[in-house]
């Protein structure tokens, strides 16, 4: 193999890894984006109190719970939009300062350190 061919193959290999990684992520996300069919005349909380009581309890005790920032704020309404894993972007609408310098920690998103429901700091 010529030097050029080797180099091309190496680049192609890296690209394949990156694309497949992206593809997998995308496929996973597509899967994750579906919320089971629900009765949209009831609120998220009415059902989730029964199906995920621990999560609701964690949330209730958190600052978000005290302020009643409901499920929909991070996860979407479940009908028009649904995010199983919410993005950090949503946080930035209120947490407009940068209390933590994320650069110091490396590849961080808010939920890398904060539990999404209790909001407690974890490693």
Partner 1 sequence: MGLTRREFIKTSAAAAAAASLGTSLIPGAASQLFADSTKWHKSVCRFCGTGCGVMVGERDGKVVAVKGDNLNTINKGHLCVKGFYLHKIVYSDTRLKHPMIKKDGKFQRVSWDEALNFVAERFNSIRKQYGPDALAFYGSGQAETEETYMANKLYKGCIGTNNMEGNPRLCMASAVGGYLTSLGLDEPVGTYDDIEQAEFFMLIGSNTAECHPILFERIIRRKHQNPNVKILIIDPRKTPTDQITDLHLFPKPGYDLAILHAMARIIIKEGYADEQFIKENVVFKDNKKDLTFEEYKQFLEKYTPEYAANDSGVPAEDIVAAARMFGRAKTAMSMWTMGINQRTRGVWANNLITNLHLLTGKIGKPGCDSFSLTGQPNACGGVREGGGLCHLLPAHRSVKNPKHREEVAKVWDVPVSNIQPKPGKHTIAMFEALNKGEIKGIFILCTNPAQSLPNAAKYRKGLEEQFVVVSESFFPTATTKYADVVLPAAFWTEKEGVYGCTERRSQYMPKIVEPLGEARWDAFILRDLAIRMGFKKEFEKYKTAEDIWNEYISLTKGKDMDLSGATYRRLKKVRGLRWPVPSEDHPGTYKRYVQGDPLFDELPREKKKGRWIYFYGKPEGKAVVWARPDKGPEEPTDEDYPFALTTGRVLEHWHTATMTGAVPELNRAVPKAYVEIHPEDAKRLKISNKDQVVIETRRGSLKIEARVIDRPEPGTLFVPWHWEEWMINNLTIDAFDPGSKEPEYKVCAARIKKA
Chain residues in the site for partner 1 (CB under 8 A): 18, 21-22, 25-26, 29-30, 33, 40-45, 66-70, 72-73, 76-83, 85, 87-98, 102-103, 106-110
- Which residues does 78 contact at the CB level (< 8 Å), separation at least 6? 35, 38, 40, 44, 72
97: CB partners within 8 A, 6+ apart = none
Helices (H), 33-87: 44-51, 53-61, 63-66, 72-75
Closer to partner 1 by CB, 3 or 121: give it. 121
b/e 13-22 (16+ beta carbons within 10 angstroms → b)? eeeeeeeeee
First-to-last CA distance in the chain?
A: 47
Closest CB to partner 1 among 88 and 115? 88
In the complex, the smallest distance separating the C-beta of residue 8 from partner 1, rounded to whole angstroms, is 20
Which of 1/51 has CB closer to partner 1?
51
Whole-number minimum distance, CB 1 to partner 1, in Å?
Answer: 26
Smallest distance from partner 1 to CB 52, Å: 16
Decide whether 5 or 89 has the Cβ nearer to partner 1: 89
């Amino acid at each position: 193999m010529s030097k050029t061919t080797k180099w091309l193959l190496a680049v192609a290999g890296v690209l394949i890894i990156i694309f497949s990684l992206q593809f997998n992520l995308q496929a996973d996300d597509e899967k994750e984006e579906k919320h089971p069919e629900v009765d949209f005349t009831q609120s998220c909380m009415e059902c989730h109190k029964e199906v995920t009581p621990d999560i609701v309890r964690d949330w209730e005790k958190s600052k978000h719970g005290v302020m009643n920032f409901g499920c929909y704020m991070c996860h979407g309404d479940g009908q028009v939009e649904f995010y199983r894993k919410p993005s950090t972007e949503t946080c930035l609408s209120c947490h407009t300062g940068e209390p933590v310098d994320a650069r110091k920690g490396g590849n961080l998103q808010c939920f890398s350190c904060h539990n999404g429901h209790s909001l407690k700091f974890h490693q």
